[in-house]
Structure 1
């Protein structure tokens, strides 16, 4: 899809547009246990203090990592994602807000989830057609909070300056990815204390997606 608009919005998916039931605690536990069982990290690691993506990167940087072990880890993560995404419902007012934004902006999804799981959830909730592109972990070299996904999207659209882009997300990892990718960030139901602790400075905090319709995005 090539929509000739001059501003663009990147949305996180889980708990920004969709109310998923992904058990992130169980996901982190599964990753941690896989690393411990294979000597990648010590059993004393305070794994609860890490995001799932940070735990994944610990393993990917280890000299002990093998392709089979990484495949096993991704299989466990994907199974938890699929279970949590099944039957996902939209955040309040998501469809009406996307319908209006779609008339003036290029819209994108950037998610740490697998592409297949993201597509299934977006199709199930009937909002997939609003997006120019869905970018998932397969398109990233490193998961959010790294800006790899932001960089990937911006490279696909060189006609748009960095100033034309804004990201919407609920977590500090979305905000960190946006900031390090040099795009503006809006926190939706974001925890202010956590944002500040991680050095994330949103241009706005919102608790209702309809507030996006009052915000001026980009140039």
Structure 2
């Protein structure tokens, strides 16, 4: 039985594509950077799968401006974009059932400080026993450091854990941590795919 269920945030707990686009459009316009081309799949993938500093560093090579943007972005109130976040299908029902059955739950995300207010806004925060964001690790996903931290926190063998992710970075992190993995809403290599959170209960044994 899987005792600890670990979730990625963007693309798993939420469809955050509209919010992420609006966030970076706002930041880039403020600093007069060339606006991201959201019709380019590589740009969209970069924005969804990378850390804030990786994304901004990709578009801004000037160190002084980069530092100014990072300071602004860190202080930017993400709440102004919360109305564009969409909880994934079946997520509340699944979290409630997992909690009632005694499972521990955690989040491993490349998001930064916005993860706490996001989960609190949607009344998800209290379901989770441990949150690991990009500020909590030296090496974010695809490195397994975040997943390893969660395993250490719960003092549980990784075979008794399950990580739900939607990206190549999530897949590689799970592989690196030697942790069972479900692919949510996408087909990643040999991984089992689910498209609704209630399907997780088929994979807990």
- TM-score category, normalised to shorter length: 0.7 to 0.9
Give the Cα separation in 1 of the matches to 2:128 and 2:89: 18
Aligned to 2:37: none
Aligned to 2:200: 212
**CA RMSD after TM alignment:** 3.6
Question: What are the superposed Cα offsets for residues 152-177 of structure 1, whole Å, 9 maximum, x if unpaired?
Answer: 212222x3112111100122211111
State the shift of 1:77 in Å: 6.8
TM-score (norm 2): 0.73
The alignment of Structure 1 onto Structure 2 pairs a total of residues equal to 189
Give the Cα separation in 2 of the matches to 1:181 and 1:74: 32
Give the Cα separation in 2 of the matches to 1:208 and 1:55: 28
Give the Cα separation in 1 of the matches to 2:52 and 2:120: 29
Give the Cα separation in 2 of the matches to 1:78 and 1:181: 32
Give the Cα separation in 2 of the matches to 1:209 and 1:166: 13
State the shift of 1:57 in Å: 5.1
Question: What are the superposed Cα offsets for residues 142-196 of structure 1, whole Å, 9 maximum, x if unpaired?
Answer: 2212212112212222x31121111001222111111111111100101x2xx33
Describe the shift of the 1:145–1:71 C-alpha distance in structure 2 as closer, same or farther (beyond 3 A): farther
Q: Structure 1 stretches of 5 or more lacking a match?
A: 37-46
Give the Cα separation in 1 of the matches to 2:71 and 2:173: 21
Q: Following TM superposition, where does structure 1 have runs of at least 4 consecutive aligned residues deviating by more than 6 angstroms?
A: none
For 1:60-139, what aligned pairs fall within 5 Å after superposition? 69-70=66-67, 72-73=69-70, 75-76=72-73, 79=76, 83-102=80-99, 103-115=101-113, 117-139=114-136
TM-score (norm 1): 0.69
Question: What are the superposed Cα offsets for residues 120-145 of structure 1, whole Å, 9 maximum, x if unpaired?
Answer: 11111112111101211111112212
Q: 2:51–2:111: 8 Å Cα contact kept in structure 1? A: no
